[in-house]
Amino acid sequence: MATIKEIKVPDIGDFNDVPVIEVLIQAGDTIKVEDPLITIESDKATMEVPSSEAGVVKEVKIKVGDKVSQGGLILLLESTDAGEPAVASVPTVSPPPAAVSAPAGVAEVRVPDIGDFTDVPVIEVLVKPGDSVKAEDPLITLESDKATMEVPAPLGGVVQEILVRVGDSVSEGAVILTLVTGAVSTVTSSAPVAATSPTTNASPATPLPSPVAPTAAAGVIDETAFRLAYAGPAVRKLARELGVDLGKLTGTGDKGRIIRQDVEAFAKRGDSAPTPSASASASASGAGLDLLPWPKVDFTKFGAIETRPLARIKKISAANLHRNWVMIPHVTTHDDADITDLEAFRVQLNKENEKAGVKLSMLAFMIKAATFALKKFPEFNASLDGDNLILKQYYHIGFAADTPNGLVVPVIRDADRKGVIEIGKEMGELAKLAREGKLKPDQMQGGSFTISSLGGIGGTYFTPIINAPEVAIMGVCKSYWKQVSPDGKQSAWRLTLPLSLSWDHRVIDGAAAARFNVYFANLLADLRRVLV
């Protein structure tokens, strides 16, 4: 006899109030055990919730946008009672209650929020298919030009498939692996239903069926693009069955997710779906400038050479710097700041705080002065987003720190709320972490303005490259003594600090840049101006 059963959200780990981003069934659908019902997405993983029963959907109790937790009602299902003889002989329809405690699900584990980093190389894969992992166990290791970081598991389960390998580059949202999750039955080898129970077949201990091979009519699939496409396991399975390359699709689901309808529509129209042209891709990346090819030279013809690989961090930095230089219309304005009195004050403060271990550099004063200049000229504390200017109400100042592995940019957060001594202490701590390679990603994120100081190394002026998505950067060189005559009659020697302000001409014009530089220089000449 038919009965109406409630199908609820199974154990999904420690997640609560997880948004539903896709409903995969509707009233009247006939479903089997393990058919996906809904797709939910936490801040760390996307997972499909499968059915624990077979039958006909009578009523769907959930919609896209709803938030669910374990035990939440998904739908009402018209199911055949397990005690009816005609069905009892088919264990795949109704497994014995003792064989299952809750259905297993397959979750896509994605790269979480890693700040402003994109295309970060994978340098280590720490798990393999079949491994059992717990929440927070490390899965892969990434290395940007500024930090090395491990990506942890958002929930426990068994690794089903690894979708990245060493050398791949990933960004936030990229799929790392699929994980069989949820509570599943533990059936001993003597259990007579172990070989046929659908729950046992779906358990982590047994590999899931391989994806169906693409049809003969399908084109060649770009496996890397396919793996990184934003789509759930059921959609991926359908795409492989239809021979559809997910890397060519634009998702119409929430947040650009590729859904079943996208795959079916693409399959109907074949390979005619528009894809970005090579020239469009080149333009977006700053390439395709119609330049002559880079010259290939056999340098050994001219003398002895030594070939040394470019350091990994320098290669990554080079790509970011090249993008920023090519895509941002840089202009640099130079000026001088009289820091004679400020230098005397700095030396005095260091003497007064010598026992406390405080040693202030001029950079600490520049960071503090920058916060006042940014408040007076808010367009310098901004980012360009299409046709909109994002004016930031916070003042997080980055400073370039020299390390054995290259330059990194730690960030002093809320510098406007901190005194010079506090800024100096924090700079020292961050610089030490940078030299030891222990800076965390969040200690290099969120900067709204950057100061690049060459300190006492040398130089007079230079053109610092803007640290996108910021719109300006201040460069300073070694201070030097200069004879000046303010009134044209008497001259005096003054300690002078060269300033080089680079700015994004799409946002800032020359007059504003000149005013910013003058104001910044005047603050350094006399910090009492901040009281006015």
Q: How many CB atoms lie within 10 A of CB 63?
A: 9
DSSP 73: E
DSSP 369: H
Q: In 24-99, where do the E strands start and end?
A: 30-31, 36-41, 45-50, 55-60, 67-68, 73-80
Only one residue has tokens 């200690």, namely 443
Q: Which of 322, 330, 334, 505 is catalytic?
A: 505
d(CA 464, CA 441): 23
Instruction: Give pairs for 476-481: CB < 8 Å, separation 24+.
Output: 476/363, 476/366, 476/451, 476/452, 476/500, 478/454, 479/339, 479/343, 479/362
C-alpha distances out from residue 293 to 316, 322, 353, Å: 21, 17, 58
Alpha-helical (H) ranges within 121-232 are 198-201, 223-228
How is residue 237 written in tokens? 């399975």
Q: In 82-185, where do the E strands start and end?
A: 105-110, 120-125, 132-133, 138-143, 148-152, 157-162, 169-170, 175-181
The answer to whether 330 is a known catalytic residue is: no
**DSSP symbols for 402-420:** EETTEEE--EETTGGGS-H
Task: Tell me the three state secondary structure of residue 177.
Answer: strand
d(CA 233, CA 178): 8
* Of the candidates 290, 393, 312, 273, the residue with the CA atom closest to the CA atom of residue 146: 312
Q: Which residues are catalytic?
A: 505
